[in-house]
Structure 1
Amino acid sequence: MSNATTHLTRRGVLAAGGALGLGAVLAACGDDDAKSGGSDSTAAPSAKSGPWTFKDDRGTTVKLDKTPANIVAFTGVAAALFDYGVQVTGVFGPTKTTAGKPDVQAGDMDISKVEIIGNVWDEFNVEKYAALAPDVLISTMFDNAGTLWYVPEASKDKIAKLAPSVGISVYDRQLTAPLERMWALAGSLGADLTAAKATDAKKRFEAAATRLRAAAKAKPDIKVLAGSASAELFYVSGTNLSIDLEYFKALGVNFVEPPESAKAQGGGWFESLSWENVDKYKADIIMLDDRSQAQQPSAITKPTWKQLPAVKAGQVIGRSPEPILSYDKCVPLLENLAKALETAKKVA
């Protein structure tokens, strides 16, 4: 993948489905010619003795003398590890809202107990990171070039010198694959994967998947649109690269799919529509980006939005384009869509 393509893809994911308005994304990411470069447990498990080894999704094998104790991770990764009983030291990525509350991507973490070294795109305090004496940095990857999510291009080389990194791919695969990888990673870090909390969550996930498959089979004519709102544009997400949508599609959900030509400017992730053209696609259910950077339904005042059949019918649900990769947190994603299908009326 070329640098330019990688850069566009990173920008695209932020907007994909509109995490930020495109103008804000351009400001945050720089110009195209810039170089790409529910848990109640807060106690970390006791580290296993002996050397630690983990092969990540870049094919990179990290080897340490002992299990990492000081872990710094992207917020969503930290939230997933927390669900398995692994407490990180520091986080970067959307963690605290402007109101001081935990961001949706922080899950059940107590954000007062982690060092926030970056809270928005392109923000990463290298000095704070170094002061934590990190053993390992963990993030997700939204491309096939090994780019670590929310690690700034400008400082990535400095960051890389301070500790080894682990990348879990959330690019062009179904949700179950990164869930399995995070499960394995948590286990390597000392999580007790035989605990009832962990095994029960996995069973609930499997049951929810069965329910969603049945709901999709029963309502094959119900069309679902995955989108996101910004003040300027509405983004219609394609299903071919997103881990959640690829999985839901495999379970039989009938999605609106913009043509590849329309998604080209969004790095293959999404099509951008003006609010005047928000009715371009017919949809019975709309799944709307729940991230804090995106406009939520209560904040959307555009008349064209309010006239959409799915909106008028009250058939709008949330979507998590960056799922917290624990089985516990992914269960509601399947259950909410299953319920929406089960109760949906054909309106478009």
Structure 2
Amino acid sequence: MPNARALPLSRRGLLATGGAVGLGALVTACGSKDAKGSDKSGGAAKKSGPWTFTDDRKTKISKKSTPQRVVAYIGSAAALYDFGVDKQIVGTFGPTTLKNGEPDKQAGDLPVDQVTVLGNEWGQFNVEKYAALRPELLITNMYDPGALFYVPDDSKDKILGLADSVAITSGRVSMLDPIKRYAELAESLGADLKAKKVVEAKARFEKAAETLRKTAKGSKIKVMACSASADLFYVSNPKVNADLIYFSELGVEFVQPKKLDQGGYFESLSWENADKYDADLLFLDDRTATLQPKDLKSKPTWSKLPAVKAGQITGWSSEPRFSYAGAAPLIEALTKAMQDAKKVS
């Protein structure tokens, strides 16, 4: 997923800078309001008594009461919002808004105008703004063990020194695992998992999954999960991405790249070699900073791919939000694309 955010497809690259100065004075002077001046507190439901949660680093976080000021990676925030956590989310980091101020697709249904954005791009994390939010808890994904997604290495110690953190494993496991964990985390924060919105989303997800299973069972369509940048074409490994692992469990046949780059998330190919693998359907990374079909018309090898010639390309949300509401539409879109595709490879 190399793109304008300089975010490696592997989700493992060196995190960019995000320093801050004068944190001690800032924390002392930040007062009772957040960076936007609002006294935002509360959440899905205020819970009395102590709060504990053990994250996927096996770190147990204990507090005297349920955190009411949460800052989260945008995918984490969007997933928690789907499960019913709302007012507690006071800040986000990662691709939250576009240049025109509209929500990035990774924000899902989260009302982005109600949160403070600490940085939209890889390596951007405004530590001063973070401190001013008086955070009680930081939440993010963990695609590789110990690697806190979108938390820059060079300012990590400052960031983690300001509040407790929760990391949810989001790579090398089936997508069902992080969905379950975000549900558990949301419930601990006061969300009602029996709320109509959540129950209906889960039912939609389960129906979509069963439809994909039936579709895949009778299909000979081979799918290639991929991402495009100006210089390279990336073929993703279906054995490490959580969504691809789950889709494979449902019976979808993916192209398996043979010469994986370090970390195992993908094989990077020069555009001259972009036709190395045959596929009937391209599952193309559709995040806002990756190249899309309209951007790739000048690439001769792209235009010669059988799936491209047949117009068999569908968007892939390669950083899915791990909730039933977030995942169901992704499953439905892949199912329809497979149903509409014909064998071309």
Unaligned runs of 5+ in 1: 1-13, 32-42
Deviation at residue 46 of structure 1 after TM alignment: 2.2
1:144-170 CA-to-partner distances (Å, cap 9, x unmatched) read 2x2110000001111111100000001
Identity of aligned residues (%): 51
Whether the aligned pair in 2 keeps the contact of 1:18 and 1:229 (CA below 8 Å) is no
**Which residue number in structure 2 is paired with residue 288 of structure 1?**
284
Equivalences for 1:79-90 in 2 at 5 Å?
79-87=78-86, 88-90=89-91
Equivalences for 1:215-254 in 2 at 5 Å?
215-219=215-219, 221-254=220-253
SS at match of 2:185: helix
**Which residue number in structure 2 is paired with residue 270 of structure 1?**
266
Q: What amino acid is aligned across from residue 267 of structure 2 in structure 1?
A: E
Deviation at residue 183 of structure 1 after TM alignment: 0.6
**Which residue number in structure 2 is paired with residue 151 of structure 1?**
151
Are positions 1:300 and 2:296 aligned together?
A: yes
SS at match of 2:334: helix
Deviation at residue 321 of structure 1 after TM alignment: 1.3
Whether the aligned pair in 2 keeps the contact of 1:94 and 1:103 (CA below 8 Å) is yes
CA, structure 1 residues 71+295, in 2 after alignment: closer, same or farther (shift >3 Å)? Answer: same
Q: What amino acid is aligned across from residue 72 of structure 1 in structure 2?
A: V
Are positions 1:75 and 2:71 aligned together?
A: no
Q: What amino acid is aligned across from residue 264 of structure 2 in structure 1?
A: G
CA distance in 2, matches of 1:204, 1:178: 18
CA distance in 2, matches of 1:19, 1:283: 28
Equivalences for 1:150-189 in 2 at 5 Å?
150-189=150-189
Q: What amino acid is aligned across from residue 183 of structure 1 in structure 2?
A: A
Deviation at residue 105 of structure 1 after TM alignment: 0.8
Paired positions, count: 317
CA distance in 2, matches of 1:218, 1:192: 38
Whether the aligned pair in 2 keeps the contact of 1:288 and 1:318 (CA below 8 Å) is yes
Q: What amino acid is aligned across from residue 96 of structure 1 in structure 2?
A: T
State TM-score, norm by structure 1: 0.87
SS at match of 1:81: helix
CA, structure 1 residues 53+29, in 2 after alignment: closer, same or farther (shift >3 Å)? Answer: closer
Deviation at residue 82 of structure 1 after TM alignment: 1.4
**Which residue number in structure 2 is paired with residue 55 of structure 1?**
54
CA, structure 1 residues 159+58, in 2 after alignment: closer, same or farther (shift >3 Å)? Answer: same
SS at match of 1:206: helix
**Which residue number in structure 1 is paired with residue 341 of structure 2?**
344
Whether the aligned pair in 2 keeps the contact of 1:73 and 1:92 (CA below 8 Å) is yes
Query: Which residue of 307, 315, 318 maps to 2:315?
Result: 318
Whether the aligned pair in 2 keeps the contact of 1:20 and 1:230 (CA below 8 Å) is no
CA distance in 1, matches of 2:275, 2:4: 17
CA distance in 2, matches of 1:210, 1:142: 26
Deviation at residue 99 of structure 1 after TM alignment: 2.9
Q: What amino acid is aligned across from residue 249 of structure 1 in structure 2?
A: S
SS at match of 2:284: strand
CA distance in 2, matches of 1:20, 1:89: 26
Deviation at residue 200 of structure 1 after TM alignment: 1.1
SS at match of 1:162: coil
CA distance in 1, matches of 2:45, 2:271: 52
Equivalences for 1:84-233 in 2 at 5 Å?
84-87=83-86, 88-144=89-145, 146-219=146-219, 221-233=220-232
CA distance in 2, matches of 1:61, 1:91: 23
CA, structure 1 residues 188+300, in 2 after alignment: closer, same or farther (shift >3 Å)? Answer: same
CA distance in 2, matches of 1:164, 1:19: 27
Deviation at residue 293 of structure 1 after TM alignment: 2.0
1:190-242 CA-to-partner distances (Å, cap 9, x unmatched) read 111111110111111111111111111010x2110000000111100011110
Whether the aligned pair in 2 keeps the contact of 1:68 and 1:136 (CA below 8 Å) is yes
CA, structure 1 residues 178+305, in 2 after alignment: closer, same or farther (shift >3 Å)? Answer: same
Please identify runs of 4+ aligned residues in structure 1 that moved more than 2 A.
Answer: 17-23, 25-31
CA distance in 2, matches of 1:182, 1:19: 26
CA distance in 2, matches of 1:27, 1:247: 24
Are positions 1:279 and 2:279 aligned together?
A: no
1:120-157 CA-to-partner distances (Å, cap 9, x unmatched) read 1111111111111111000000102x211000000111
